[in-house]
Structure 1
Amino acid sequence: MPTFSVFRHLLLKDFLDIIILTVFAYHLYVWLHQTKAFKALVGLLGLGIIYSVAQFWGLFLTTWVFQILWQVLIILIIILFQTEIRQVLEKVNPFYALGWNKTVGHIPWIESFSKNIFELGAQQIGALIIFQRKDRLREFISGGIPFEAEPTGELLVSIFQKNSPLHDGAMLIDNGKIFMAAAFLPMTFQEGLGKELGTRHRSAIGITERCDAWALVISEERGQVSLVRRGVLDLVPSPEVLTLKLKEILTPDRPDTTGRLQKTKHLLLNRWRIKLATLTIVSVVWFSFAGQQNVEISVEIPITIQNLPPQLEVDASIQNVLVTARGQRKDIGMLSPKNIKTNIDLSNVGLGRNNYFLNQQQLLLPNDRVEIIRIEPNNLTLNVWTKPD
C-alpha cells in the first residue's frame, strides 16, 4: 500500500535524521518553555498546519496568502525574538557545552549568609538576590550600581532595608562576590501566578526563565524565603536547607561518579513524556515529508522470457539484472523483485545469436512515476535453437 511504502527501505541515516531533529526540538522546548517566544512558536506551528492543509486541498488563494505571510513573519521573528535566538545559539556553542568557564573555589560565607537571609525574613525585609552561573546576566538587566564585596549580614541589611535607595532592585552575585546592586530584571510572562507574588517574585521567575541563574527571594509581607530555578519557585524551610542549596549553586561541580547505566536511565526517563511526545511529533512530520523525498534504490530482478515458440529452446547469457530506480519515497518503497519484471518478448525471435538492449520500456513497473536510472548489465544475449525431435 502506498501509505506504508514510506516505511520500507529506511536507512540508518533516516533514523539518525529523526533523532537529531528530536533532540533539537526537545531542547528548544526546554529552553523556550514558559516564555513569550514559546507561545509564538505554538502559534506559528498552528499557522504551519493550516498552510499544509491548504496546500494538500489545493486552496489556491489561502496558499498564496500564506506564502506572502511567511516572508514577513521571518523578519518579524528575528526582530521580536532576537534575545531568545541569541540564547539558543549560545547554548549550542561547543565551549558552553564543554563547560569551559571559570570555576569558584571554596566560599566560607555560605552558612552565615543563610542565617542572615532568614534573619532578614524574620524582620520582613524584602530582598532579591541573583546568583550568576554560566549565562551572563548583563544583557538581561537594566540600571544597577557596580559593587565588589562579600554579602555579609551588615551589607545585606544596609542594601535591602526599606529606607535604602538600593532596596527596590536586585543584588547580583558571581564568583562568590556581589558585583552589582539595585539592578532591574525582566518580569515573567507566566499567567495564573498567585496574587501574593509581587514584583520581586515575578522578576525572579522572569530572569531564571531566560538563563541558568538562580534567584533568592525574601517576601516583604510574609517573610518567606524562596529559591527560583528555571522559572519554578520553591519555598526554603530553614537555613540548613538553604545552605545545602547554595553549596550546589556556588561551589564547583564535583566529578560525576554516576555509572553509565544510571546516566542512560536518567537520560531516557527524565521528562520521558515530553521526550516521547517530541519524538512522536518529529516522526509524524518526518514521514509526512519523507513520502515526497526523491530517493534511489537498486533491486536485483530475474530475467523473464515471454512468448517463446514451443519448438524453440533458448540460453540466456545472464539470469539477473540490477535495476536502479529513482522517484518519490512513497513510490520507490513499493518496488521489489516481486512487482518488477522484465518483458523480453521472443514471439518473433530468430535462430542463432540474438542481442537485446535492456531499457525502461522492457520493464513492467507497479506505477509510471518511477524513473529507471540504469540497468546493469544492459546487454542480453540469447542463443536460440530448435528442439531436437
Structure 2
Amino acid sequence: MLETFPKITLWDVIDILIVAFLIYRIFIYLSQTRAIQILIGLLFLLILSVIAKFFHLYTLSFIFNNLITIGIFALLVIFQPEIRRILARIGEKHFGIFSSEEEAEKVIEEIVRAAAAMSEDRIGALMVIEREVNLDNYVEAGTAINGEVSKELLITIFWPGTPLHDGATIIRRNKIYKAGAFLPLSLNPNLPQTVGTRHRAAIGITEETDAVVVVVSEETGAVSVAYTGKLIKDLDPQKLKKVLKGLLVKKAKEKNSFFSLRRSKSEEAA
C-alpha cells in the first residue's frame, strides 16, 4: 500500500516550503494594494468555471475557458504596477544611499531647515530623497541641477513664480539631482478626499520605490513625510529630523560599515 506513494525526500520538503513561503509573501503584498480586489474577482470566476464543468454546463464552460486564456494576458496588464514594484524591489542597487553618517546628517539638517522656513511662509514643496532604488525610471521630465543640498537652494527652487516650483525635487546623496520633476500619483482608493495632488504624488513614488519624501503643504504649511505608501503628518522640525534620521542615517551606517569591513579585509589580504 505504502509503495504506491512517492518517496518524499528532504529536498522535496524544502521545495514545498519555499513555494509556500513565496505564495504567502505574494498574497501578503497584494493584500496591501488595490490588486487584491481584482484577485478575489478572478478566484470567484475560477470557482464558477469549476462548478460549470462539474454540472456539465457546456456554454458556461466554453465562456470561462476562453476567459482564462485571455485572462493570462489581462493579468499582465492589470497587475503591471504591482509587477513593476516587485521587480524594482528584487533589483535594488545602491544608488542614493549616503556614503557616511555625517553626509546624511548634513543633508537632513538642510532639508529640515528648508522645510521649516517654507512651512512658515506657506510655500508648497515636494522633496524626494532617493535611497536604493534608482528613480530615473519613475520620474518624468525635470531639470538637471546637480547642486549641493542647501536650505537656500531648496527655497529658491520652490519659491512661487519660479519655473520649477510646481514639480518635485530629487535629492541623490548630497546633491539636488533634478527639480521640476513629475511623479506618479497614488491610485490608492482608501486615501481621503482631502489628500491633494502634491501629497498623492509623494505617496505614489513611495509606493513604487523605497524613496523618502518630505512634503510642505501650500494651504496649511503642514510638513509631512511619505514612505512605503504611508504618510506621517504635522511634523515640527524636531520630529521631522528624528523621522528622517530613522529612515536614512541607519542605512548610511550600514553601508559605511560594509565598505569599512570590505576595505579592512582587502588590507588583510594584501
Range of TM-score over shorter length: 0.7 to 0.9
Distance in 2, matches of 1:40 and 1:140, equals 24
- The 5 Å alignment of 1:305-320 reads none
- In 2 relative to 1, CA 85–142 (structure 1 residues): closer, same or farther, beyond 3 Å? same
CA deviation after TM superposition for structure 1 residue 246, in Å: 2.0
Q: One-letter code of the match for 1:205? A: I
CA deviation after TM superposition for structure 1 residue 100, in Å: 5.8
Q: Is the 8 A contact 1:146 1:181 kept in 2?
A: yes
Name which of structure 1's ranges 125-134 and 241-250 shifts more when overlaid on structure 2: 241-250
Is residue 2:158 matched to residue 1:164?
no
Secondary structure at the counterpart of residue 83 of structure 2:
helix
Q: Is the 8 A contact 1:31 1:88 kept in 2?
A: no
Distance in 2, matches of 1:40 and 1:243, equals 39
Find the counterpart in structure 2 of residue 189 from structure 1: 187
CA deviation after TM superposition for structure 1 residue 62, in Å: 2.0
Distance in 1, matches of 2:88 and 2:190, equals 30
How much identity, in percent, do the aligned residues show? 35
Distance in 1, matches of 2:215 and 2:134, equals 20
Secondary structure at the counterpart of residue 85 of structure 2:
helix
Q: Is the 8 A contact 1:34 1:190 kept in 2?
A: no
Find the counterpart in structure 2 of residue 50 from structure 1: 48
Is residue 2:98 matched to residue 1:104?
yes
Find the counterpart in structure 1 of residue 113 from structure 2: 115
Find the counterpart in structure 1 of residue 235 from structure 2: 237
CA deviation after TM superposition for structure 1 residue 25, in Å: 2.8
Find the counterpart in structure 2 of residue 88 from structure 1: 86
CA deviation after TM superposition for structure 1 residue 64, in Å: 2.1
CA deviation after TM superposition for structure 1 residue 74, in Å: 1.5
- In 2 relative to 1, CA 142–153 (structure 1 residues): closer, same or farther, beyond 3 Å? same
Q: Which of 62, 70, 75 is equivalent to 1:77? A: 75
Is residue 2:126 matched to residue 1:128?
yes
Q: Is the 8 A contact 2:96 2:130 kept in 1?
A: no
CA deviation after TM superposition for structure 1 residue 21, in Å: 3.1
Distance in 1, matches of 2:252 and 2:37, equals 34
Deviations 1:100-156 (A, max 9, x none): 667422322322321221221111111111111122222222221112012312112
CA deviation after TM superposition for structure 1 residue 83, in Å: 4.6
Distance in 2, matches of 1:26 and 1:253, equals 31
Q: Is the 8 A contact 2:95 2:131 kept in 1?
A: no
CA deviation after TM superposition for structure 1 residue 32, in Å: 4.3
CA deviation after TM superposition for structure 1 residue 189, in Å: 1.3
CA deviation after TM superposition for structure 1 residue 250, in Å: 3.3
CA deviation after TM superposition for structure 1 residue 157, in Å: 1.5
- In 2 relative to 1, CA 218–51 (structure 1 residues): closer, same or farther, beyond 3 Å? same
Q: Of the two structures, which has the highest relative contact order with CA contacts closer than 8 Å and spacing of 6 or more?
A: 2
CA deviation after TM superposition for structure 1 residue 79, in Å: 3.9
Secondary structure at the counterpart of residue 115 of structure 1:
helix
Q: One-letter code of the match for 1:196? A: T
Q: Is the 8 A contact 1:125 1:160 kept in 2?
A: yes
Secondary structure at the counterpart of residue 66 of structure 1:
helix
CA deviation after TM superposition for structure 1 residue 201, in Å: 0.6
CA deviation after TM superposition for structure 1 residue 167, in Å: 1.3
Unaligned runs of 5+ in 2: 1-6, 256-270
Find the counterpart in structure 2 of residue 268 from structure 1: none
- In 2 relative to 1, CA 171–244 (structure 1 residues): closer, same or farther, beyond 3 Å? same
Distance in 2, matches of 1:28 and 1:208, equals 19
Find the counterpart in structure 2 of residue 223 from structure 1: 221
- The 5 Å alignment of 1:1-389 reads 15-93=13-91, 96=92, 103-105=97-99, 106-107=102-103, 108-251=106-249, 252-255=251-254
Unaligned runs of 5+ in 1: 1-8, 257-389
C-alpha RMSD over aligned residues: 2.9
Distance in 1, matches of 2:199 and 2:78, equals 25
Q: Greater CA radius of gyration, 1 or 2?
A: 1
Point out the structure with the larger helix share: 2
Secondary structure at the counterpart of residue 59 of structure 2:
helix
